[in-house]
Every structure is written in structure tokens, then in C-alpha cells.
Amino acid sequence: MRFIILSLFKLFVLLFLISCEENKQIKTNEAVIEKKSSSEVSSENDAKKGSKENRESDLTSTLSSHLIQFKLNIEVDDFYVKFNELMNANPGMMVTNTFDHQEKAESVGMTIDFSSFHHLYTNQLINPLINENPLVALDLPLRIHFFKDDNNDFAQFVDGHYLIKRYGLEESIQTAESNSRVLNSIVKNLSNQEKPFQNSDLNFKELEGIEILQSTSNFDETAKSILHAIKKNKEVDLIAAHDFQSFAQEANYSIGKCILLLYGNPEMGSSLMQERPSLGIDLPLKMLLYETKDGVTHVAYNNMEFIFGLHDYQNTEAANKLNQLTATLITGKK
């Protein structure tokens, strides 16, 4: 595993890229899981040009409905080097985390094809989304996943229209769309592929697949308790903790308390990626701690059966096990 924390840079180059556009257990044994579901966002946000028409016969990787994907015309290793060069040349976009799935698999005696994802951060394209709906941080920072599947090399990233629909974004629609344009520009310039593979079938409801618990403790106590639970649990490793508020404050932005925890089980994750390599963009597991304006602390995580469904992958047993693992870390109940 490679974990990289880079210092914040100014955002001017990004503006050019987007053509000048933006030990105590947590006291939640009595907490109530609030499965929030509201009406679907307007179907206008689901439409993306050239979805099925853009599929090519040599696309051997099953395309997920929430992703935009490019087939690489060069080896992933070469692409990876050029990607790092591009990031170093663009101070407006910083890499906050790098996670090498293949390296992690090898550390537990397993084998998977090349798979690596990168978290990319820029306050201008992230904070407006979190200000409108903190839950969107479950799919942030921006991320690009490089991987090999059936001897083909791919780069993929989360489609901004997926963020708009899943999190019911209205005020920050343009920001979400700008995220896609920026990532599209980065990958396109390196892949030599004019049109990406897209699947515009966003067939789900707003907030679907998100489990939300309300904590009876304050934010700091909740975070401390969950971190302690993760560290003492022998089934999981803590990969990273991303403090969105701290990043925002350093750039003079104001958002509420919001921390994303990344953690996982290398054996389980590697086994899943052996069957569906595209899952590497949604692994390891993620848990979001955030405080609402009324001072209430919430803990949210993805229902993995929903995530598997996005990748056209069915494994109820594994999804249930991962969901139970996360719930246990939060509530202490097995």
C-alpha cells in the first residue's frame, strides 16, 4: 500500500482545466438506522450522450452504471507514470491518497491484476457539493481507478450525473458536471480515446444504498470511538482518514465537520476484485462521519449490495458480511 499526503496547492491551474468554470463504545446501541429515500431527481440528470452507442466490441470489462471508463492504448504502468507527471504539473489538483490494490493483495499472499486508485482533491470542486449535502462525501474526494481486466487496460472515474442523482444535488449541479469534465480531460489526454464507455442507466432512487445512523455522542467522541473500534478489530485495517473540514479551512472555505474513513479486509477485497476488477474504485470500505447544522452527529456507509449492483455483480453473502462488519464497528453489536 502506498499512502501519500501532499500539501495543498493553489487552484488556478484547475480553473484553466475547466475552462474558467467551480474505551468507549459509541453510544449508538439505541441509534436508529434512517434509510432515507426521496423522489428521484429529474430524468434530465440521467441523460448522457452516447451511452450504449459508445460501447465497443473489445470492451471486455463489465461497465458500471455510475462510471465513465476509457480503454487505455498504452500499458497501465506507462499510463500511471504519465498520470503522476500530469498531476505534478497541475498544482490546482492534488493527490491526497494512493492505494495499490495489487500490492495489498500480494501482502496477504493473493494475486490480482494491476489495480490502483487515486483520490484527487480540489476545494473548488468538492466543497460546494458537501455544503449542499454532506452525504456526497461518501463518493469523494474525486477518484481515478487504473486497472487491468482480461488483458485490457482501463481508467475509470465516477460520473458527475451519478452524484447529482444519488445525492439529490440541485444547487451544485454545475460543480458535479465540472468534476466529470476535469477528470474526462485528464484521462482522455492520456488515453488517446476520443469517446469514453458510458452506461447512462442510473436506475436507482435518491439516497438509495446509504445506511445512516444517528449518534448520541458528539462528533469528536463518535470519531474517537469508531477509530478505536477499527484499530482493535483484527478483521480490518485502517487505510486512511480524510478530514474534509480541515482541507476546506486551509483554503478559507467553511463546511461542517466531515471525516471519511477508509478501511478494509485485504483478503475479502482481493477476492472480490478477482471476480470483478472494476470494484477496485469502490474499495476499500468507506464510513462517513458528519455533523449537521443542528449539531447532531451522523454515521453513514454504503450498503455493499447496492455497490455490487452498480457493477452488475451479485454476491449477497459477501455484501451481508461486509455490511455486518461495518455495523459492528459502529454499534458494537454483532
H or E segment to which residue 71 belongs: strand 67-71
pLDDT band, very low/low/confident/very high, at 6 (cuts 50, 70, 90): very low
- Distance, CA of 244 to CA of 319 (rounded, Å): 27
pLDDT of residue 41 exceeding 60, the answer is no
**Which has the closest alpha carbon to 251: 86, 92, 69, 107?**
92
- What's the pLDDT tens digit per position in 189-236? 788 777 888 876 788 999 999 999 999 999 999 999 999 999 999 999
Spell out the residues 6+ positions from residue 306 whose beta carbon is closer than 8 angstroms to its own. 204, 208, 209
Q: Determine if the pTM surpasses 0.85.
A: no
Identify the pLDDT of residue 319. Answer: 98
- Whether residue 32 is predicted with pLDDT greater than 50 in this model: the reply is no
Residues 28, 215 contacting (CB under 8 angstroms) = yes
Which position has the higher pLDDT, 263 or 89? 263
> Would you say residue 40 has pLDDT above 70?
no
Is the bond into 141 cis (omega within 30 degrees of 0)? yes
pLDDT in tens, 234-293: 999 999 999 999 999 998 999 999 999 999 999 999 999 999 999 999 999 999 999 999
Tell me how long the chain is. 334
Residue ranges of domains in the chain, CATH in brackets: 24-331 (3.30.310.70)
Q: Which residue has the higher pLDDT, 1 or 297?
A: 297
Q: What is the pLDDT of residue 190?
A: 81
Say if residues 179 and 269 touch (Cβ distance below 8 Å).
no
- Mean pLDDT (whole number) for 306-331: 96
pLDDT of residue 25: 40
Q: What are the tens digits of pLDDT across the range 93-117? A: 889 999 999 999 999 999 999 999 9
Q: What is the per-residue pLDDT for 170?
A: 97
pLDDT tens by residue, 143-198: 999 999 988 889 999 999 999 999 999 999 999 999 999 999 888 878 877 788 88
pLDDT (average), residues 120-148: 95
CB 310 within 8 A of CB 65: yes
Tell me what pLDDT residue 86 has: 84
Q: Are strands 115-121 and 94-100 parallel, antiparallel or unpaired?
A: antiparallel
More confident residue, 134 or 22: 134
Mean pLDDT of 29-50: 34
284 preceded by a cis bond (ω within 30 of 0): yes
In this structure, what C-alpha cell is assigned to residue 66? 455510475
Whether the pLDDT of residue 27 is over 80: the answer is: no
